[in-house]
Amino acid sequence: MAQEIVKAGEEVVLTEETGRVRLITLNQPRRLNVISSDMVASLAKFLEKWEKDDTAALVLFKGSGRAFSAGGDLKMFYDGRMSKDPCVEVVYRMYWLCNHIHTYKKTLVALVDGISMGGGASFMVPMKFSVVTEKTVFATPEASIGFHTDCGFSYMLPRLQGHLGEFLGLTGARLSGKELVAAGLATHFVPSEKLPELEKCLIGLNSGEVNAVKPVIDEWSISCQIDENSILNNARLPVIDECFSKESVEEIIVSLEVEASKEGNGWIAPFLKSLKRSSPTSLKITLQSIREGRKQSLAECLKKEFRITMNILRIMISGDVYEGIRALTIDKDNAPKWEPSNLEAINIDKINEVFLPFKEDLELKIPNEEDCRWQGKYEGSSYANSV
């Protein structure tokens, strides 16, 4: 077994090559495998290399420690806040990498046995096969730190059933492994203790043929019955669809308040609290981006997200992202002071400016590739037959 290691202080990415199988291990367990510039560069290099390699057929992704990937390196963004174009290189490469994963020409399998959040989940959801366990935790919590739903999720979330995508993007709600399969954001559930054996079987298979890989994963997977308290049960989904179908964030909150006052709807309170604690500016941007994404291609979504990201980092209309990072990871007081502090004070014209195209030479340049891997895994999932 040949092993190639990329070193950057700590070994951020490990790769192994066995026959026609390639294995990527995200290897920053103490940092929950956050997405750094070194990680992005390494992943891009290896994926491009293997896509052109006729001897490579199957690529497996996994994370070390208790996280698959907890998302972007927030301190990296905070430290670069005074730059003219904060972190533009790593942001550009990350969006290019997201597109490459979605359109990859060889079979990708994610083995996710831990935290998979924000940008880190973009290494999971678009894979041909996304295998999760009882230890898997998913969320897109960007609005809570003054950011927006990115890394292709403005394309993926609106393709879930109903308005579940708006709910996940705005509230940062967490989903378990079983819920991910039920919602269509993952393909298989395998008990954590069985994951190493599945990995060995896939490596031993020595093939990337979908018709060969799927039966192996099917053999180790078990059917999922979501908990009766899951947000995906048949009593709660209609409430989510009704509330998150509203035109604006303000209307969504009012609708949730009305539903929360009804008997048996105490489950709404934590999500309502999350909305009210998040950056008002980020909530507005996130809702608009997800709504636009419903009618956009993957390439259009990624180009849009790149613009939004750079404009947020440049503090075009608000410095909320840096205030959110400060409160969460620098001072750790968990008391961000948003500006503006309420939804009513936000100028919608300012929000629209964040979405405007850049000059041609500043735009994200990726192919307008429609043959992307992820078209929404809801179809055929257990979602419709949940509790």
Which residues are part of the catalytic machinery? 72, 119, 142, 150
Return the DSSP state at 377.
S
Dihedral of the CA atoms 276, 281, 282, 285 (nearest 10)?
130
CA atoms within 13 A on the CB side of 168: 32
d(C-alpha 245, C-alpha 36), whole Å = 35
CA dist 355 to 119, 146, 341, Å? 20, 16, 21
d(C-alpha 284, C-alpha 229), whole Å = 29
The full DSSP string for 177-216 is: HHHHHHHTS-SEE--GGGHHHHHHHHHHH----HHHHHHH
Return the DSSP state at 222.
-
Q: Are 374 and 125 in contact (CB under 8 A)?
A: yes
Q: Are 283 and 246 in contact (CB under 8 A)?
A: no
CA dist 291 to 115, 142, 224, Å? 27, 16, 30
Q: Which two tokens stand for residue 33?
A: 């495998």
CA dist 316 to 29, 103, 309, 352, Å? 34, 32, 10, 11
